[in-house]
Structure 1
Amino acid sequence: MTGRQSRELPFLPAPGEGEVRLRVAAIGVNRSETYHRAGFYGPAQLPSPLGFEAAGVVEDVGTGVTAFECGDAVTVLPSVRPLRFGTYGETILVPDVAVVAQPPELSAVEAAALWVAHLTAYAPLVEIAEVGPGDVVLINAASSSVGLAAISIVRRLNATPVALTRTRRKADLLLRLGAEAVIVTDEEDVVGRTHALTAGAGARVAFDAVAGPALTTLLHALAPGGIVIQYGLLSQEPMLFPLDVSARRLTITGYGLDLATDTELRRRAYRFVKDGVAAGAFRPVVADTFPLSAAAEAHAVLERNTHVGKIVLLP
């Protein structure tokens, strides 16, 4: 162990080789945790941990850990395998490869809301679609933490983010949070409005959290040669495949965040987000906070889809 001595916590094992023990200050809630809880990814072996991201203070380190010492304020990246480590707790063990210094510009609550959202949006938009100046990017489920992160990333890349939301209730807020335009999908013709916003050209990129019929609509709204990056399954309904996808040279690609094994991707993504925070371009939006004891209530709020931004648990 390096640094100051940690206080004894007899109810939690000492960190093993390459592990860090954290006293947790805040925990970001992610939709994939509701899927794990509900058995969407298959039955879990109980007791089963939940959680991918948190902010806290280092209390102890295992052998081989040299980058951190007791007292360091840190955050946890989403780079650990689900159901092996978890962040829902007052004190947690995580591998040191998943730990980074807490950005000094952010509070612990903001830091806990930062990484999953921005890293989920980073690789699809920056490395796969290579979004750049002049691009129009359609972002559905835009009021989610990932949707808001995508808006800010598209802005930082000097492109044009167009937010899609089901009801008009969130439209003004999305404009204030950086969307260039908002399409209310329950009221407007998404394809017609997209072509109006792009002088008939269509959008080059769509960032899709919904799938189902919404994905079909996004394909119709793309310009020739456009790309849909599909990362969520909020709809869980079947999709109709347009017949002109091949003729218009459209691309549909999935994406799963794999920072656990791709260390170079993790390095690039971390630097991009860290620099954006330092420049004031990225600031996570916190919708609400709940005590850790009310995690079930926080999940229920998340599943109702009425919030804007990130839900955070406080131990």
Structure 2
Amino acid sequence: MPRVVVFDEFGGPDVMRVVEEPVVEPVAGEVRVRIEAFAVNPLDQMVRSGTSPVTVPLPHARLGVEGTGVIDALGPETSGLEIGDPVILTAVPDASARGSYAEYTTVPASQVIARPSGLGITEAAAVWVAYSTAYGALVEKAGMRPGDQVLITAASSAVGRAAMQIAHQIGAVPIAVTRHAARTDDLLAAGAATVIATDNMDVVQAVRHHTGGNGADIVLDIVMGPGQQDLLKAARPGGTLVAAGFLDPRPTPFPRSTPLTIFSYRSFEHSLDGVVVKRMAAFLNAGVRLGALRPAIDKVFALNDVVEAHRHLEKGLHAGKKIVVAV
């Protein structure tokens, strides 16, 4: 029988186990996907450890919000897809019940898109969460335009790397922020126009220098916490800040008076909107075709080694590159 990753209690990577379960038939409007690979995301770590704000029913909970595979079966009244179509999962809203850490899963047909022909299986497994988050925040929310100076925090993260690539595709200028100067060369190679390392630079002064004194047009804050105050000062009056992450667990002071437009963004805001997903898919296909969008892969594990994949994630050695599990 097909293999599925489940966990019965919250804790470290060792709570996960691989079991065998019969395949589930898709109901009306659903498809069954034979998963070929899935990505390991920080959200999976939070769900597994019990630190996610999402309610996870135990025991026998599943994991995984990202993956790629082939349509294996169609439910009644499902149209527009064929058995054998290679697809990417765009949303798994009930991942604890049918997440992508499995050889098969069922999802609504509206929550898959065609896999871009220019992406290999491991790349396709790793592209959607980071790409859709960065695209949704920068393009849909902030309205990024050619020439915009875009300040990107946690630039070494998967979302940060995707944001730099998307900025380039639009014609904007990505300014990368990192905590460590040692990552400068890697970020420049990843597409940053310039890199601001907070271990030896003042963010506000550096941004003013690189923008001719104007400040950033858009700030993508993936970190939040007290450091957001400097980001607000680094933006130009009338600019936009999008808070799209929470890597810093410390409280974020509420800006009392600022000349900026501030948005809070979560990827599910658009990943469940079919109209926006079509725009995202078109942009992704164009970027892949042009060679502008390409996820960085750190390491590939086998399904039976999923515990080791999570241990690798927790060690932080991936530097924001995606960890993929091939099924």
**Structure 1 and Structure 2 fold alike (TM over 0.5):** yes
Partner of 1:252: 262
State the Cα distance separating 1:42 from its structure 2 match.
Answer: 4.7
Change in CA separation of 1:32 and 1:110 when aligned onto 2, cut-off 3 Å:
same
Instruction: Look up the SS of the partner of 1:83 in the other structure.
Output: helix
Deviations, residues 181-240 of structure 1 (Å, cap 9, x unaligned): 011112211111111111111111111111102212211211111221011111010234
Q: How far does residue 302 in structure 1 lie from its aligned partner after superposition?
A: 2.8
- Contact (CA 8 Å) 2:164, 2:192: kept in 1 or not? yes
Distance in 2 between residues matched to 1:228 and 1:301, nearest whole Å: 32
What corresponds to 2:125 in structure 1? 112
Correspondence list, 1:234-249, <5 A = 234-241=247-254, 245-246=257-258, 249=259
The change in CA–CA distance for 1:52 and 1:213 in structure 2 (over 3 A counts) is same
* Structure 1 partner of 2:237: 224
What whole-Å deviation, never above 9, does each CA across 1:146-187 have from its counterpart, x for those lacking one? 111100111111111011111123211111111100111122
For 2:228, give the aligned amino acid. L
Indicate conservation of the 8 Å contact 1:129/1:205, yes or no.
Answer: yes
2:154 pairs with 1:141: yes
Partner residue of 1:310? 322
1:199 aligns to what? Answer: 212
Moved more, 99-108 or 262-271: 262-271
Residue 33 (1) aligns with residue 47 (2): no
Shift of 1:38: 2.3
- For residues 219 and 155 of structure 2, the distance between their equivalents in structure 1, rounded to whole angstroms, comes to 12
The one-letter code of the counterpart of 2:26 is: P
Query: How many angstroms does 1:77 deviate by?
Result: 1.0
- Percent identical among aligned pairs is 39
Match of 2:90 in 1: 77
TM-aligned CA deviation for residue 10 of structure 1: 7.6
In structure 2, the residue matched to 1:161 is: 174
Q: Does 1:131 align with 2:144?
A: yes
The 1:233–1:300 alpha-carbon spacing in structure 2 relative to 1, beyond 3 Å, is farther
Match of 2:65 in 1: 52
Contact 2:111 2:272 in 1 (8 A): no
Give 1:102 deviation, angstroms: 1.3
Contact 1:216 / 1:241 at 8 angstroms: preserved in 2? no
- 2:277 and 2:315 mapped to 1: Cα distance? 32
Question: Are the counterparts in 1 of residues 223 and 245 from structure 2 also a CA contact under 8 Å?
Answer: yes
**Using the alignment, how far apart are the partners of 1:113 and 1:42 within structure 2?**
22
| CA positional deviation for 1:118 | 0.9
Q: CA deviation at 1:64?
A: 1.6
Contact kept? 1:79, 1:259, Cα under 8 Å: no
Which of the residues 29, 36, 50 maps onto 1:18?
29
SS of corresponding position for 1:239: coil
Pick the aligned partner of 1:281 from 280, 292, 317: 292
Structure 1 residue 260, shift from structure 2 partner: 5.3
Matched residues in 2 for 1:54 and 1:260: separation? Answer: 14
- Report the count of equivalent residues: 304
Change (3 A) 1:189 1:269: same
Contact 2:38-2:100 within 8 A present in 1 as well? yes
CA contact (8 A) 1:23 1:59 kept: yes
| Paired residues of 1:80 and 1:98 also in contact (CA < 8 A) | no
SS in 2 for 1:121: helix
Moved more, 199-208 or 40-49: 40-49
Superposed CA offset, 1:269-314 (max 9, x none): 2212222112221111112122223333323333444323211112
Whether 2:221 is the aligned partner of 1:208: answer yes
- Indicate conservation of the 8 Å contact 2:90/2:271, yes or no: no
Task: Please give the alpha-carbon distance, in whole angstroms, between the structure 1 residues aligned to 2:242 and 2:252.
Answer: 15
Change (3 A) 1:306 1:64: same
Structure 1 residue 261: deviation in Å? 4.1
- Indicate how the Cα distance of structure 1 residues 176 and 116 shifts in structure 2: closer, same or farther if over 3 A, else same: same
Distance 1:156 1:70 in 2: 33
| Secondary structure at the counterpart of residue 256 of structure 1 | coil
Offset of residue 133 of structure 1: 2.3
Tell me what 2:77 maps to: 64
Unaligned runs of 5+ in 2: 1-19
Whether 2:264 is the aligned partner of 1:269: answer no
Tell me the amino acid that sits aligned with residue 48 of structure 1: A
